[in-house]
Amino acid sequence: MDNRSEVRDFLTTRRERLTPERAGVPFFGGRRRVKGLRREEVAMLAGMSTDYYTRLERGNLTGVSHSVLDALAGALQLDEAERTHLFDLAETANAPKPGSPPRRVARRTPVRPGVQRVLDTINAPAYARNGRMDVLATNRLGRALFADAVGATGGFNLVRYLFLDPRAQEFYPAWRTVAADSVAALRTYAGRNPYDRVLTDLVGELSTRSEAFRTLWATHNVKLHHTATKTMHHAIAGDLELTGEALHLPGDPDLTIITYTWEPASPTEQALTFLASWNPQPVDGTTSQHSRSRRDPTSR
């Protein structure tokens, strides 16, 4: 992914969405020939010259200081995720550049046994994923929840499932919101890892095969995933309302555990109790001694 193009498109889309009224810029009516703010208006709000801001919006963040980035983030009213993304893009722009950009191959690798043991002790649906939304490991109830998506090897890519598997739109009643949030999270990861060849291939595949993905990717929206409540419709258990919590692992910086919670004594809890009894066997057809000795995942 070309850093200059990423910077240009990100800053342009942030400027175009900001109206004079929202930005507090005097506007005396009449027809504006640009969408959102003008470049000179952003420059004024950020305390820099129009020529300098134009250079930034054309994709050149080389040598830009943190104070300038802070001023630009304030002028464009960036939220936490957008501000982080801007700094990630600037870090890439200012990193030492070899003769040709490194084409890092970030392969899908198995999780450590300790991470799998953590998943197995969680009495709720849970899985571990990387920044590309590759689900690398699940616990028993997690496999049951995502039974449609889990492949023969036990893993799947959440974004590929969302956009290429028609069952995903039945599984997520609020599919548009879930899809937009997932693409925004993927774009956030891309800002930190512009030379991830597997990510580039994934984005290329989805852009070619899914117009919905292509449209969302072009918005350059970003999102930090901490917690979110989703409604899911499981083919066996019915409707579920679950709140996902993201747990980051200091020893595995690219790995995040997502675990779901629910309201006690709710229909969702009853549905999960049923789902636990239906839960299929692990992918290899065996049940670990740890899993056999554990109490029901939804018991209290």
Average pLDDT over residues 126-147: 95
CA separation for the pair 150, 138 (Å, rounded): 9
First-last CA distance in the chain: 48
Q: What are the tokens at 197?
A: 């060849």
CA separation for the pair 135, 40 (Å, rounded): 45
The model's pLDDT over 29-39, given as tens digits with 9 standing for 90+, comes to 567 778 899 99
**Single-letter amino acid code for the residue at 290:** H
Average pLDDT over all residues of the chain: 88
The model's pLDDT over 241-264, given as tens digits with 9 standing for 90+, comes to 999 999 998 889 889 999 999 999
Looking at domain 3-94, its CATH architecture is Orthogonal Bundle (1.10)
What is the residue-wise DSSP string for 15-76? Answer: HHH--HHHHT-----S--SSSS--HHHHHHHHTS-HHHHHHHHTT--TT--HHHHHHHHHHT
Q: What are the tokens at 164?
A: 């290429």
Q: pTM of this prediction?
A: 0.85
The model's pLDDT over 127-136, given as tens digits with 9 standing for 90+, comes to 999 999 999 9
Q: Which residues of 118-145 are buried (b: 16+ CB within 10 A; e: fewer)?
A: bbbebbbbbbbbbbbbbbbbbbbbbbbb
Average pLDDT over residues 287-299: 39
- Say what the pLDDT of residue 176 is: 97
Which comes out higher in pLDDT, residue 108 or 40?
Answer: 40
- Say what the pLDDT of residue 294 is: 37
- Say what the pLDDT of residue 189 is: 95
Which comes out higher in pLDDT, residue 20 or 151?
Answer: 20
CATH fold of 113-293 reads Beta-Lactamase (3.30.450)
Q: Has residue 120 got a pLDDT over 80?
A: yes
- When pLDDT is cut at 50, 70 and 90, the band that residue 172 belongs to is very high
Where are the domains positioned within the chain? 3-94, 113-293
